[in-house]
Amino acid sequence: MPEQNVKWPFLPAQTPTEITHAEGAYLYRKDGKKILDAAGGAVVANIGHGRPEVADAVRGALVNASYVIPLWLTPERENLVNELTTHWLPKHLNRIHLASGGSEANEAAVKIAIQYHASQGNPKRHKILSRSLSYHGTTITTAAISGHLSRKKGLESILDTYHQIKTPNPLRCPLGRHHEDATSYYIDDLKQTIESVGAENIAALIAEPMNGSSGGAIMAPPGYWAQAQKILKDNGILLIMDEVMTGFGRTGDRFGCETFGIEPDLMVAGKGMAGGYAAIAGVYGREEIADSISAGDLQVMFHTFGALPQSCAAATCVLEILRRESLLEKCKSTGITLLNRLQDQFSQHPLVAEIRGQGMLIGIEVVKDRDTLEPFARGEDITNKMMATAMEAGVFFYPGGTGEYRDILCIGAPYIIGETEIELMAHALDKALADISSK
């Protein structure tokens, strides 16, 4: 880091970190320290760092044709579409719109949902429902939709208010912790929200199949999704699944939709699509949605860099590696071992409210009082303190929560990790918990 005139990042970090290189599941700091990337960056890296064949694929694409307008086909785009439709996407989602990141793709999905209803002669159906605890992106619309107050600060004057349903959260269900009626409680909330907004005004609900870092791997109670989908369908409301974080194997299945038995109308996935080797994300939609928009003579505008041939080549190569090396199966089984290991040692810890998750997306929720679930005061900055201690112990966890909802450490490690890495995480978590306990 230049000492005289630090210009990175835009806002100075409390603890500047300089990474010189990365390999496999490890990052190497400038001071020589080796850090386990238990966060996979921002829950992105799935095959691990530094795979030369992905670099070769990108190089091949770059020398073949550096830039071609996104609407035209190139060999790299064709290969990616084939890989996606043959091996990854649910069969009913066969229309693909590519973007360069999750926010851009979610914004496109919201527009597509609204345009679909307009093309059906229902322009009044333009409201988007979202969830109270959620993150969908950083553009004006996706930030406004998100249930993430700390990321909206200072923007309140420009962000529209969207109707939100309650994020189904079994731990903190007002009826009681993991209450047997939690499903009905949250389903009633969905029904009431639809009734008060008016189904005839609603284009879509956008939701993650399970919370990413906003809530730290919160999963809906059993049966929630089956009932929620039926209600949406009966009311003509589209379901947009935001799988930016959960997509491409993170839950141990191809998509969270598969894990939780969800059949969305539009699905959005990014991060793991190219495992961090390129900036690419996709909106995957039902044919009838695309056909209707097309018949209505409406446009789905492309993003200039949305389908760069080199990004498509990186994504295809990463997706092939995931399949060839059976990394989804590994993610699922290692995820179970990791979750059990952490729960065995820490779930009775006086400061641990819950350790939950699926595959390689795990959240550790820390509270001041595990009986009442009272959080630590915001000013205590527990998440950052724990992350700093864990870093010193050689592990990078991802910070979760929204500021209002806290304190959460997330694990989003590459799917390639094994016993050594599990033990390293347990050791770092032990240190982090001991550190805040002693204060």
Ligand X SMILES: Cc1ncc(COP(=O)(O)O)c(C=O)c1O
Enumerate residues 136-155 that contact ligand X by CB under 6 A: 136-138
Pull the structure tokens for residue 357.
């998750």
Which string of x and - marks every residue 379-398 that binds ligand X (by CB under 6 A)? --------------------
Nearer to ligand X, 170 or 209 (CB): 209
Pull the structure tokens for residue 381.
């900055």
Nearer to ligand X, 70 or 256 (CB): 256
H or E element: which one contains 411? strand 408-411
Q: Which residues contact 170 (CB under 8 A, 6 or more apart)?
A: 177, 178, 179, 182, 218, 219, 220, 221
One of 74, 79, 106, 334 touching ligand X (CB under 6 A)? 106
Nearer to ligand X, 81 or 273 (CB): 273
In 3-state terms, what secondary structure has residue 329?
A: helix
Bridge partners, residue 354, by sequence: 365
Q: How far is the CB of 279 from ligand X (least distance, A)?
A: 8
Which string of x and - marks every residue 208-237 that binds ligand X (by CB under 6 A)? x---x-------------------------
Q: How far is the CB of 243 from ligand X (least distance, A)?
A: 8
Q: How far is the CB of 106 from ligand X (least distance, A)?
A: 6
Q: Does 270 bind ligand X (CB under 6 A)?
A: yes
Q: How far is the CB of 361 from ligand X (least distance, A)?
A: 10
Nearer to ligand X, 245 or 315 (CB): 245
Nearer to ligand X, 101 or 394 (CB): 101
Enumerate residues 240-269 that contact ligand X by CB under 6 A: 242, 244-245
Neighbours of 124 (CB within 10 A): 13
Enumerate residues 30-49 that contact ligand X by CB under 6 A: 42
H or E element: which one contains 27? strand 26-29
User: From edge to edge, which strands make up the β-sheet containing 164-165?
Assistant: 93-99, 281-286, 266-269, 238-242, 202-207, 127-131, 164-165
Pull the structure tokens for residue 354.
């819950």
One of 40, 48, 102, 309 touching ligand X (CB under 6 A)? 102
Among the listed ranges 132-140, 220-228, 343-351, 380-388, the one in contact with ligand X (CB under 6 A) is 132-140
Q: How far is the CB of 205 from ligand X (least distance, A)?
A: 14
Residue nearest to ligand X (CB): 102
Nearer to ligand X, 42 or 426 (CB): 42
- Residue of 15, 39, 40 whose CA lies nearest to 1: 15
Rounded distance, CA 113 to CA 107, Å?
10
CB 245 within 8 A of CB 412: yes
Site of tokens 């499903």: 183
CB 425 within 8 A of CB 66: no
CB 181 within 8 A of CB 175: yes
Q: How far is the CB of 197 from ligand X (least distance, A)?
A: 23
Neighbours of 23 (CB within 10 A): 13
Q: How far is the CB of 412 from ligand X (least distance, A)?
A: 10
Rounded distance, CA 413 to CA 390, Å?
14
Q: How far is the CB of 302 from ligand X (least distance, A)?
A: 17
Bridge partners, residue 95, by sequence: 285
Nearer to ligand X, 101 or 170 (CB): 101
Size of the site for ligand X (CB under 6 A): 15
Q: Which amino acid type is present at position 412?
A: G
Q: How far is the CB of 133 from ligand X (least distance, A)?
A: 12
Phi, psi of 41 (to 5 degrees): 75, -115
Q: How far is the CB of 251 from ligand X (least distance, A)?
A: 13
Chain residues binding ligand X by CB under 6 A are: 42, 101-103, 106, 135-138, 208, 212, 242, 244-245, 270
